[in-house]
Amino acid sequence: MRDNTKWMLSDREIPDTWLNLATVVRAEYPRPVEGEERMPLSVRALSSRYSEECARIEMLDGLYATDLDISIPGEVMDQYRKYRATPLFRARGLERQLDYAGRIFYKREDLNPTGSHKPNTAIPQALYAREQGLRGLVSDTGAGQWGAAMAWACRNYGLECTVFMTRSSFITKPYRRYLMELAGGIVHSSPSEMTAQGRKLLAENPDHNGSLGIGMGEALETALHADGFRLALGCISYYAALHQTIVGLELEKQLEQAGVEPDVLVACVGGGTNLFGFMSAYLLRKLRGAASPEMIAAESANVPSLTKGEYRYDYADAFKLTPMVKMYTLGHQFVPPKIHSGGLRYHGKSPILSLMVRKGLIDAVAIEQERAFETGGLFYECEGVLPAPESAHAIAATISAARLAKAEGRKKDIVFCLSGTGYLDLKGYADIFGLKP
Ligand SMILES: *Cc1c(COP(=O)(O)O)cnc(C)c1O
């Protein structure tokens, strides 16, 4: 097995539980609170915004307070089997390119339906909504990865899906909007004329670029006013992070099969869910004080919440409609520059990831956009796989880790998460590489 280049798992080996790491740190895990007065929230109050099950997960209610292993509903497993387990690859081309004596591996969440790790949580969220008898889900999306996954998952369970898409992406990235619309999703450019807050922002600036925080505010305003609709979050919630732990549980099995004890794990961070999920099994070891790899979070230098933000309570959206959560944040009014890596634009990082960073379990690095795209291009040359610009941040951090190991004369095994595909981000690549239309 040591000379293999890819490791798969059979359907029977796909984990059938999620890893509820919040229970391990529940004493110190900061719950969402209401308003500046920090009033405690109830599951009931939160269920006016999220589906009931998501509200329970978010508040660590019932078994979510006590159980480390949460069994995955059978209907979710049926959908997961359409694309999971995702393969683990060895990046021999990249190793050769870097003249690196250690090994580099990557987990392929780019091969999923709609092209990223997002369906891992969109599917259970849609199932919960259907079980509760809701009509549909509303959400926000940046580059469109989350919206595409939501729309697709909603379609599979016969639900309606409305998406507020950050205006800058709505204009420059129509292809994911087409994906959403192909699956029956209704997509608005955000800020939009559909909500009071959107109209206000457009009146101030008709060319407002929008942001994920604004999209989320518009989605929530819509959900609170429409009967049978709830907000679905892809990045910032604990429920989304929990669902992504399937990635890390698979990874642990695959690395065991490969006979690899990883030295370094790397993932990019927007809201923090692919990283949390990908590293979950090893985070558990770290929390228990066992030998565990070094962990690196690669964020965008344009949105440096972990490296330059503050750890405090803040709103998840720009309009203060969401509960307040404790996280690394640049402030809910932060409007990021119009960067291509739409998935990394969010002003805060999910509370569970923020806590892990705060505890010193994960180190954060900020990667410049241009370097990320150049790295993505290099990875395409060496491996034949075009990464999402978000994922390219993780590859850039991987290369830095490999160079450092090489300089120290060490052969570290480095594993990164390829969170999504870049084939719908070719416009961003073309801009950076100066390719003519
Ligand atoms: C959404 C997205 C991200 C960022 O979200 P996380 O919650 O940090 O995982 C990263 N990569 C891709 C491909 C995405 O679609």
Q: Which atom of ligand 1 is found nearest the CA of 143?
A: 15
Separation between Cα atoms, residue 156 and residue 184, nearest integer Å: 10
Cα–ligand 1 centroid distance for 274 (angstroms): 6
Residue 172 has pLDDT above 90, yes or no: no
Residue 78 CB partners (closer than 8 Å, separation 6+): none
Residue 176 has pLDDT above 90, yes or no: yes
Query: For residues 298 and 272, is the Cβ–Cβ distance under 8 A?
Result: no
Mean of per-residue pLDDT scores for the chain: 95
Answer whether 269 contacts ligand 1 (Cβ < 6 A): yes
| Residue labelled with tokens 């909504």 | 129
Separation between Cα atoms, residue 7 and residue 13, nearest integer Å: 12
Residue 26 has pLDDT above 70, yes or no: yes
Answer whether 273 contacts ligand 1 (Cβ < 6 A): yes
Residue 169 has pLDDT above 90, yes or no: no
Q: In this predicted structure, what is the pLDDT of residue 61? A: 97
Separation between Cα atoms, residue 130 and residue 107, nearest integer Å: 31
Angle formed at CA 307 by CA 328 and CA 412, multiple of 5 degrees: 115
Query: For residues 138 and 151, is the Cβ–Cβ distance under 8 A?
Result: no
Q: In this predicted structure, what is the pLDDT of residue 271? A: 92
Q: Which helix (H) or strand (E) holds 336?
A: none
Answer whether 343 contacts ligand 1 (Cβ < 6 A): yes
Q: In this predicted structure, what is the pLDDT of residue 2? A: 57
Cα–ligand 1 centroid distance for 130 (angstroms): 25
Answer whether 195 contacts ligand 1 (Cβ < 6 A): no
Residue 298 CB partners (closer than 8 Å, separation 6+): 266, 267, 268, 269, 364, 365, 366, 367, 393, 394, 396, 397
| Residue labelled with tokens 């099969």 | 257
Cα–ligand 1 centroid distance for 299 (angstroms): 10
Residue 388 C-alpha from the chain's centroid: 12
Angle formed at CA 363 by CA 4 and CA 323, multiple of 5 degrees: 110
Residue 158 has pLDDT above 70, yes or no: yes
Q: Give the start-to-end residue ranges of the domains of the chain.
A: 79-116+238-433
Class at the top of the CATH hierarchy for domain 79-116+238-433: alpha beta
Cα–ligand 1 centroid distance for 66 (angstroms): 28
Prediction pTM value: 0.96
Q: Which atom of ligand 1 is found nearest the CA of 235?
A: 7
Query: For residues 322 and 315, is the Cβ–Cβ distance under 8 A?
Result: yes
Q: In this predicted structure, what is the pLDDT of residue 143? A: 84
pLDDT digits (tens, 9 = 90+) for 219-275: 999 999 999 999 999 988 999 999 999 999 999 999 999 999 999 999 999 999 999
Query: For residues 124 and 76, is the Cβ–Cβ distance under 8 A?
Result: yes
Answer whether 388 contacts ligand 1 (Cβ < 6 A): yes
Angle formed at CA 32 by CA 28 and CA 33, multiple of 5 degrees: 110
Q: In this predicted structure, what is the pLDDT of residue 347? A: 87
Query: For residues 212 and 118, is the Cβ–Cβ distance under 8 A?
Result: no
How many residues are recorded in the chain? 437
Cα–ligand 1 centroid distance for 344 (angstroms): 7
**Probe target for ligand 1 pocket from 274, 299, 352, 421, with the most ligand atoms within 8 Å of CB:** 274
Return the sign of the alpha-carbon dihedral for residues 249, 79, 242, 400.
Answer: positive
Mean pLDDT of 24-30: 95
Q: Provide the 10 A C-beta neighbour count for residue 35.
A: 11
Q: Which residue has the higher pLDDT, 168 or 384?
A: 384
**β partners of residue 264:** 294, 414
Residue closest by Cα to atom 1 of ligand 1: 343
Q: In this predicted structure, what is the pLDDT of residue 142? A: 85
**β partners of residue 418:** 108
pLDDT band at 342 (very low <50, low <70, confident <90, very high): low
Separation between Cα atoms, residue 357 and residue 246, nearest integer Å: 21
Q: Which atom of ligand 1 is found nearest the CA of 241?
A: 7
pLDDT digits (tens, 9 = 90+) for 360-410: 999 999 999 999 999 999 999 999 999 999 999 999 999 999 999 999 999
Q: Which atom of ligand 1 is found nearest the CA of 420?
A: 13
Give me 53's structure tokens.
Answer: 């099950």
Query: What's 288-309 look like in SS3?
Result: CCCCCCEEEEEEECCCCHHHHC
pLDDT band at 197 (very low <50, low <70, confident <90, very high): very high
Cα–ligand 1 centroid distance for 214 (angstroms): 18
**Probe target for ligand 1 pocket from 112, 165, 268, with the most ligand atoms within 8 Å of CB:** 268
Q: Which atom of ligand 1 is found nearest the CA of 275?
A: 9
Answer whether 270 contacts ligand 1 (Cβ < 6 A): yes
| Alpha-helix residue ranges (DSSP H) falling in 103-237 | 119-131, 145-156, 167-172, 174-182, 196-204, 212-225
Q: Which atom of ligand 1 is found nearest the CA of 350?
A: 7
Separation between Cα atoms, residue 243 and residue 216, nearest integer Å: 20
Residue closest by Cα to atom 15 of ligand 1: 145
Separation between Cα atoms, residue 101 and residue 21, nearest integer Å: 34
| Alpha-helix residue ranges (DSSP H) falling in 99-165 | 119-131, 145-156
Beta-strand relationship, 88-90 and 324-329: unpaired
Residue 178 has pLDDT above 80, yes or no: yes
Q: How far is CA 249 from CA 141, 246, 279, in A?
A: 27, 5, 9
Residue 78 has pLDDT above 80, yes or no: yes
Query: For residues 25 and 286, is the Cβ–Cβ distance under 8 A?
Result: no
Answer whether 391 contacts ligand 1 (Cβ < 6 A): yes
Cα–ligand 1 centroid distance for 387 (angstroms): 12
Q: In this predicted structure, what is the pLDDT of residue 320? A: 87
pLDDT digits (tens, 9 = 90+) for 118-127: 999 999 999 9
Q: In this predicted structure, what is the pLDDT of residue 376? A: 98
Residue closest by Cα to atom 2 of ligand 1: 343
Q: Give the three-state DSSP class for 407.
A: helix
Q: Give the three-state DSSP class for 332.
A: coil
Q: How far is CA 274 from CA 297, 305, 418, in A?
A: 10, 16, 9
Task: Classify residue 122 by burial, with Cβ atoms within 10 Å: 0-12, 13-18, 19+.
Answer: buried
Q: How far is CA 78 from CA 111, 280, 373, in A?
A: 17, 23, 35
Residue 74 CB partners (closer than 8 Å, separation 6+): none
Q: Provide the 10 A C-beta neighbour count for residue 187.
A: 24
Residue closest by Cα to atom 9 of ligand 1: 274
Q: In this predicted structure, what is the pLDDT of residue 386? A: 98
Residue closest by Cα to atom 3 of ligand 1: 343
Mean pLDDT of 331-339: 81
